Amino acid sequence: MSDPVGRIGADTISAALQRADRQGLPVPFTRPAGEDGSFGSLLARAVGEVSAVQEQSEAFTSAFVRGEPVELHQVMAAAEEAGIAIEMLVEVRNKFLDAYRTLVNMQT
């Protein structure tokens, strides 16, 4: 069985990221202007993005409950996105803690 991901070269990825950037789409794995690139700033940005997604989900839910013109599928999609974002953040935390424990165990 062939591995379709393994056939993707660096040139293909670079071209796709450049197209996305030109179209104004968010480009993953790039550092926004003004960030120092440290793990702390990356983590702080991730927490901020998760918080923003949760706030957006709460806003859609509140608007729907108040009877404002918000479609149910928008509310459900926003809630699902918020749930996935928090799950991802928890998994990143778990992996970080595992790595930390591994380093501590290597030192003893």
Task: Quote the number of domains for the chain.
Answer: 1
Assess if residue 57 is contained within a domain: yes
Region for 96 from its dihedrals, namely left if φ exceeds 0, alpha if ψ lies in -120 to 50, beta otherwise:
alpha
* pLDDT tens profile 54-96: 999 999 999 999 999 999 999 999 999 999 999 999 998 899 9
Query: Does the structure show a pLDDT above 50 at 46?
Result: yes
Contact 52, 81 (CB under 8 A): no
Kindly report the pTM of this predicted structure. Answer: 0.62
Q: Tell me whether residue 90 is in a domain.
A: yes
In a domain, 14, yes or no: no
Residue 27 lies in a domain: no
pLDDT over 70 for what percent of the chain? 77
Q: Domain of 57?
A: 36-107
User: Looking at the domain assignment, is residue 15 inside a domain?
Assistant: no
Sequence-distant (6+) residues with CB within 8 A of 28 are 17
